[in-house]
Structure 1
Amino acid sequence: MLFRLVGRMGRRPTSLFSQHSYRHITLIEHPFAHRSSIENNYVDYVPQQSKRYVSLMRKLAFEDGIRRLIRNDIQYELDRSPRTQLVPKFKSFAIDERPGEQWIRLNTKFGDDEDIKVEVTMFRVSTPPTKEGSITTQNDLELYISMVIDIVKGEENGILQFLCNIWPESVEIEKVFMRNQDGMAGKPYLGPPFNDLDDELQTSLYDFLETRGINDELAVFLHKCMQHKSKNEYIRWMETLESYVARKK
C-alpha cells in the first residue's frame, strides 16, 4: 500500500501539523517489511507536541493504577475492621496517641509528688530460641511491646527508669536504673540484668509498679491499643502516599 502526505503550494497547514513542522513525506511499504517498522517510521514524523501528549497519557494511566491499588488496599483494611480512635484515658492514665509516630505516651500521677510518664513503642516480634534441626513457624512467633517508664519525684531529683517488655498478658522488667533529668552523658553504669537481682528484690519492684497501675491489666489494654495504632498508622501512611501520587505538578 502507498501512503502519501503531499504538501501543496498555498495549502494551509492542518491542525495536526504546524506551519514549521509540515513536510513532504512519502512512505512506501516494502512487500516484505514488518508492519511495526512502518509504524515506527511513522512515529518518527509525529509532531513533538503529540509525543508529549502520549507520554502524559501513559504517565497518568500508570499513576491511576498505583492509586487504584492503594485504594483497594485501604478498603481491604477497612472491610476487615473499621478505623477507630484510641480512647483518651485508661483508668488513671491519660493517653496521647501521637498521630503519625511509632509510639504513644501515657501520663499519670501517684500520690502528691510522683509524675509517671510511660512511652510505648509499636509491636516487635519475638523469635524463640531454636533447637538444632527444628523449624520456626508462624505459630512460634509472639508479638510484644517495648515500654519505658519514667518516675519523677520533684524537679531536683533524678528519674527512676524502668525498661520493660509488654507481653499480651504480662509485664516483664528488663532494666531498672537512675538517670538525671537532663539525660545521660557518656556510658553510665545501668546495673545488672534484672533477672540477676535477688528474687525478693525482683518481686518488690514488680509490686512497686503494680501499686502505680502498671500491671497485667495494663498489658492487655496496651496490646489492644497498639493494634488499633498500627492499623491507623498504616492507613494514614497509605492515604499520604495516594495523595502524593495524585498531586499535580
Structure 2
Amino acid sequence: MLLSQSKTLLRTRMQKNYRLMARLVQVARRIFLFKSSSSCSQALISRLQPNPHPIEKPLCSSVKQVLRTRNYINEMRHSAVDANILRMLRSEIQYEYEYSRPQKPATEVYSFIVEDRPGEQWIRLRGKCEDEGEIKIEATMFDESISVRKSGYDAKGEDVQPHINVIVDISKGEGSDVMEFVCMAWSDYLEIQRVFMLQRDGIPARSYVGRNFKKLSEDLQDALQEFLEARGVNDELAVFLHEYMINKDKTELIRWMGTAKSFIEK
C-alpha cells in the first residue's frame, strides 16, 4: 500500500516537471524567434537605407589600363599636331628670310616723314606746306583686289590689281578747316574718290558733303588733282606706297609667324 502511494507521488512530480520543462522550452523558443526576427528586420532596413559614407570600389586593372592608353594616345596626338605646326612655321620663316627677306622700311619719302607702327595695318605720313599748312596721309595695307579685263587685241582673261585706301587731310594753319581727300592708290597712279570739308575736330563743317568726285566737272577734277600734286600727293607717291606695303606685308607676316611659333612652343 505504501509502495503504491510512493509510486503515485513520484509519477505526479515527474509530470509536473515535464510540464515545467515544456513551458521553459516554449518561452525560450519565443525569445529566440523574437530576437531572430528583430535582427533580420534591422538588416533589411539597413540595406534599404542609403549609406551616408559609401565606399568607392577601386577600378579594376583593365579599366585603368584603358584610361592610361587613351591618355597616352591623346598626348601623342597633341604632340604630333604641335610638332607639325612648329615644323611648318619654322620652314616658312626660314624661306622668307632666305628668299624673300623684307627690306628696312624707309622713314622719309620726298617731303614726308613716315610713321610706321609694327603690328598695325596702316602707316601715316606727315608733311608741311609752303602756306604753313599741314598734310597728313593715312594709308592702309592692301585692302582688296579688283579684277580688270586685259587690254589689247590678243589679250584674254583678267588682271588682278590690288589697291590701297588713302586718306589725305590738308589744313592751312592752326584753327583752319580741313580738306579731306579719300583716294585709292593703284600700282602706278592715284585716284580721287571723294572730297570732304571738315572742321578741325573732324566733324563735317556743313551738312552737305559734296558730290562724288567723278560727277564733278572735268575742269574742277583737274584743278583738285593739281591741288594735291602741288603738295606732293601724286602718282609717284602711289608707287612708293605700293612698294612700302609689299615690304610691310612680308615684315608683318614674319612677325605673326614668330609670335605663333612662340605660343606653340610653350
TM-score by length of 1: 0.72
What is the Cα-based RMSD across aligned positions, in Å? 2.7
Q: Does 1:146 align with 2:165?
A: yes
Q: Does 1:105 align with 2:127?
A: no
| Distance in structure 1 (CA, Å) of the matches to 2:188 and 2:240 | 9
Partner residue, 1:181: 200
Are the equivalent residues in 1 in contact too, given 2:145–2:163 (CA < 8 A)?
A: yes
- Give the residue type in structure 2 aligned to 1:199: E
Deviations 1:104-134 (A, max 9, x none): 111111115211100011112113489xxxx
The runs of 5 or more residues in structure 1 that have no matched partner are 1-19, 26-41, 131-135
Partner of residue 190 from structure 1, selected from 209, 226, 229: 209
Partner of residue 181 from structure 2, selected from 145, 158, 162: 162
- Give the residue type in structure 2 aligned to 1:225: Y
Task: Give the helix-richer structure, 1 or 2.
Answer: 2
The alignment-based identity, stated in percent, is: 39
Are the equivalent residues in 1 in contact too, given 2:195–2:213 (CA < 8 A)?
A: yes
What is the SS of the residue equivalent to 1:190? coil
Partner residue, 2:230: 211
TM-score by length of 2: 0.68
Deviations 1:124-179 (A, max 9, x none): 2113489xxxxx95x42211111000012233211110011111111111111111
- Give the residue type in structure 2 aligned to 1:150: D
Give the aligned length: 204
TM-fit CA distance, 1:51 = 5.7
Are the equivalent residues in 2 in contact too, given 1:95–1:107 (CA < 8 A)?
A: yes
Are the equivalent residues in 2 in contact too, given 1:21–1:47 (CA < 8 A)?
A: no
- Give the residue type in structure 1 aligned to 2:230: T
TM-fit CA distance, 1:187 = 9.7
| Distance in structure 2 (CA, Å) of the matches to 1:169 and 1:195 | 19
Partner residue, 1:125: 145
The runs of 5 or more residues in structure 2 that have no matched partner are 1-56, 151-155
Partner residue, 1:243: 262
| Distance in structure 2 (CA, Å) of the matches to 1:216 and 1:110 | 18
Partner residue, 2:114: 95
TM-fit CA distance, 1:50 = 7.2
| Distance in structure 1 (CA, Å) of the matches to 2:209 and 2:94 | 47
| Distance in structure 1 (CA, Å) of the matches to 2:187 and 2:249 | 15
| Distance in structure 2 (CA, Å) of the matches to 1:241 and 1:186 | 46
TM-fit CA distance, 1:58 = 3.2
